[in-house]
Amino acid sequence: MKNCRGDVNISGLGLAPSETEKTQRYSSEIDGLRALAVIAVIVNHFSHDLLPSGHLGVDIFFVISGYVITSSLYNRPGTSLFDFILNFYSRRMRRLVPALVVFVVFTCIAICLFNNFPKDSIRTGVSALFGYSNIHLLLHAVNYFGEPAQLNVFTHTWSLGVEEQFYLIFPFAIWFSGFGRRSRIGSRNLALVIGSFSVLSLGLFIFWSESNPNFSFFLMPARFWELGAGAFVFLFLNKDKQGTINGSLGIYSIFLLIFILICLFVAADYSEYTTIAIVLLTSMLIATIRPRTLCQSILSHPSATYVGRISYSLYLWHWGVLALSRWTVGIHPWSVPIQLGLMFLLADASYRYVENPLRRAEWSIFPWRTIAYGGGTLVIAASLLLGLVKPFAKHLYAGTPPKMEAVGVETLVAPYSLPDPASTWHGEECILSDNSEVGKVIPIDKCTLGDFSNADRRILVLGNSFSAAFVPAFDQLVESDNYAVVLTSSWGASPGPDIDNHGSWDKANDYYWGQVAPSLIDSLRPGDAVFLVSDLANFSPPEEAASGENRLSQLENSFANLSGELYSRDIGLAVLDGLPFVREAMCDPSTASKQWFAPFGGPCRYYSKNETISRRSHLDKTLSSLQEQRDITVVDLMDEFCPGEICTYEAEDGQMLYRDISSHPSVEAARLSAPVIRTALMSIAYHPRAEMPASGQMR
């Protein structure tokens, strides 16, 4: 391509720096555009408030990538499909793998120093090595804009996954269209293929933006049109070799640049529209920019081109620095210059000593060997990282784990015994852990604390995984009050029968409430009680919505109907009220403890007690209404789990209240709650049916 629009920069990845070819000269404005994109992303990741739509810098990268990869493949025609594809993937290996492997390995080791449970980050890192971190994050329901995503040191690699998946199909489209073989109608054929797929992709993007935003954000099919737009720009310019079409438009490129900047300041709520706008504007800018214009001078400034050249490494390392900062010192106005300096220092070192030398080096004269070397490096790196999950990560942790009787979600199934050896709760035998356990029989003799046959009173505890967490809360009821407590759980179960459940444990939920619970209730006597213990956070959403009201209505009907059924048998019903919303803090006990490397409190973000009570108010109103009608007894542990102005992981005496990142109460918290639970359950007096109000009947 001639210099009618500025020379073409050959690069295999929009995030990667330029690669000078003998047949083409370096295009400085493309690197300048990369610099704009990566700076926008970095500013947005420092603070969404500073540049609300700065994340659109990634969409700019996608357009650049589509443009430069089409240019690269066009200027490297092959004699056969086999050679064409092998040469393409060998170049990708040299360009992408070295910097990525170094970043992922060193960052994984670093996160193990500050996170006692780094499994999520490490597994995301492994998926990033093999180009599917976008799918991994989608499957784990990660919200890119949410707080938890900012603590995963590899969340940003989703965009590399999109591009690498694009590479799996695009070279074949280039070859079979004839474009890569310089066929006379190759450009037309490629335009038809890219156009067709881009229209479908844009349709998916728009549809999923409304129905499933995570799909539209993370999946390559919903992003194909952005890379396709860049490919179209190259096809357009390649046809217009003399610059007759866009020559007169070059003067207007500065306005396109201004409009791109404006889009970056638009509120993120409008990202469906700003994404489309930024892709169109970037495509038009690349197509119309001309030498010796104001826009070209700005984008070709030495500072801009330097940032553009290191943009791949800078994109990799900037998020690692920010995520690790959130785990340690945090992000403050005084820390920003230090963190920016560290980003550029690491990116520059990566570019100078890893990325650029290994990209230019000839790994082998045979492309297949280059691919094998790259693939082998990825496998070795992934094996090392998986070894960090178990057993080495614990030895790397630089903090001090809190002293707790049980830590981690796996401890929920551990057996629990009282001094009487005959009084043992057998853990797994009392739990439905997934849908495969439909039909499992829950044995009363293995799931009871106390003497079921001779107890003065029996309590049946039903619920999701939270009920298993409260097993240690009933010691005194059993040992001093001669109660027998039967405890069962079904992971992911609804808090009561006939409540919609479409989660991963839906069949187990239906079996639990349809067969297990009724069978256990049949074993109770008049004067006994049922205690429902579940996580009710889903019934107190952060924002009021019609769906939340419907859920509360289902909850109210479920509890009222169950109460009516139990009342007909002279059996009482108690319900645990909602606990603080600390799951949203995304903390584990070690992170929530005071650590030397997190002098300002670490990454945990808690609700205040007032905020918690306010958010729980609609649930409280529903439960209070049922209690006033004497349908249920409400057990409220707010003061035990939130003794101060802020609802943290710590009790007044410093003990940890939660055993894992999912906010399951700790053994210590269960025992701390025991007096309140004991008082509430003992207050459920025996009421002959004739004395009960009509509101307690089945509805």
Q: For 74-130, give the secondary structure using H, E and C.
A: HCCCCCCHHHHHHHHHHHHHHHHHHHHHHHHHHHHHHHHHHCCCCHHHHHHHHHHHC
360 and 240 housed in the same domain: yes
How far, in Å, CA of 64 to CA of 279, rounded? 10
pLDDT beyond 80 at 400: yes
500 and 371 housed in the same domain: no
pLDDT category, 548, cuts 50, 70, 90?
low
pLDDT category, 17, cuts 50, 70, 90?
very low
User: DSSP string of 414-457?
Assistant: S-EE-SSTT-EE-GGGGEE-SGGGTT----GGGSEES-TTT-SE
pLDDT of residue 237: 86
pLDDT category, 602, cuts 50, 70, 90?
confident
423 or 617, which is more confident?
A: 617
pLDDT category, 693, cuts 50, 70, 90?
very low
Kindly state the average pLDDT of the residues 476-483.
94
Nearest to 348, CA basis, from 322, 387, 324, 312: 312
CATH code of residue 419:
3.40.50.1110
Kindly state the average pLDDT of the residues 33-41.
98
313 and 200 housed in the same domain: yes
pLDDT of residue 660: 92
Specify if 421 maps to a domain: yes
140 and 223 housed in the same domain: yes
603 and 628 housed in the same domain: yes
154 and 261 housed in the same domain: yes
Q: Residue 627 is part of which domain span? A: 409-686
pLDDT category, 644, cuts 50, 70, 90?
very high
pLDDT of residue 653: 87
How far, in Å, CA of 283 to CA of 64, rounded? 8
**Last residue in a domain, options 396, 430, 449:** 396
Specify if 698 maps to a domain: no
213 or 420, which is more confident?
A: 213
Among 388-402, 428-442, 574-588, name the one with the lowest average pLDDT. 388-402
Kindly state the average pLDDT of the residues 414-425.
87
Structure tokens at 126: 């492994």
Mean pLDDT of the chain: 89
334 and 435 housed in the same domain: no
pLDDT beyond 90 at 416: yes
Residue type, 270: Y
Asked if 53 and 46 touch (Cβ cutoff 8 Å), the reply is no
Specify if 691 maps to a domain: no
173 or 631, which is more confident?
A: 173
Specify if 14 maps to a domain: no
Specify if 23 maps to a domain: no
Kindly state the average pLDDT of the residues 475-495.
95
pLDDT tens-digit profile of 207-254? Answer: 999 999 999 999 999 999 999 999 999 998 887 655 555 556 667 889
Kindly state the average pLDDT of the residues 39-68.
96
pLDDT of residue 247: 56
Kindly state the average pLDDT of the residues 323-349.
96
**Last residue in a domain, options 365, 396, 427:** 396
pLDDT beyond 60 at 206: yes
215 or 684, which is more confident?
A: 215
pLDDT of residue 9: 38
427 and 381 housed in the same domain: no
684 or 255, which is more confident?
A: 255
Q: Which residues contact 477 (CB under 8 A, 6 or more apart)?
A: 450, 459, 483, 485, 677, 678, 681, 682
448 or 25, which is more confident?
A: 448
Domain count, the chain: 2
Specify if 274 maps to a domain: yes
pLDDT category, 23, cuts 50, 70, 90?
very low
φ, ψ of residue 457 to 5 degrees: the values are -155, 150
436 and 388 housed in the same domain: no
687 or 92, which is more confident?
A: 92
Specify if 614 maps to a domain: yes
Specify if 429 maps to a domain: yes
**Last residue in a domain, options 396, 431, 457:** 396
pLDDT of residue 393: 62
pLDDT beyond 50 at 8: no
pLDDT of residue 388: 82
Q: Which residues contact 383 (CB under 8 A, 6 or more apart)?
A: none
pLDDT of residue 75: 82
pLDDT beyond 80 at 78: no
141 and 182 housed in the same domain: yes
Among 143-157, 329-343, 493-507, name the one with the lowest average pLDDT. 143-157
For the CA atoms of 75, 80, 86, 92, what is the dihedral angle to 10 degrees? 20
pLDDT of residue 16: 43
pLDDT beyond 80 at 163: yes
pLDDT tens-digit profile of 377-387? Answer: 999 999 999 88
146 and 241 housed in the same domain: yes
pLDDT of residue 601: 84
pLDDT of residue 249: 67
How far, in Å, CA of 323 to CA of 320, rounded? 5
pLDDT of residue 10: 36
225 and 356 housed in the same domain: yes
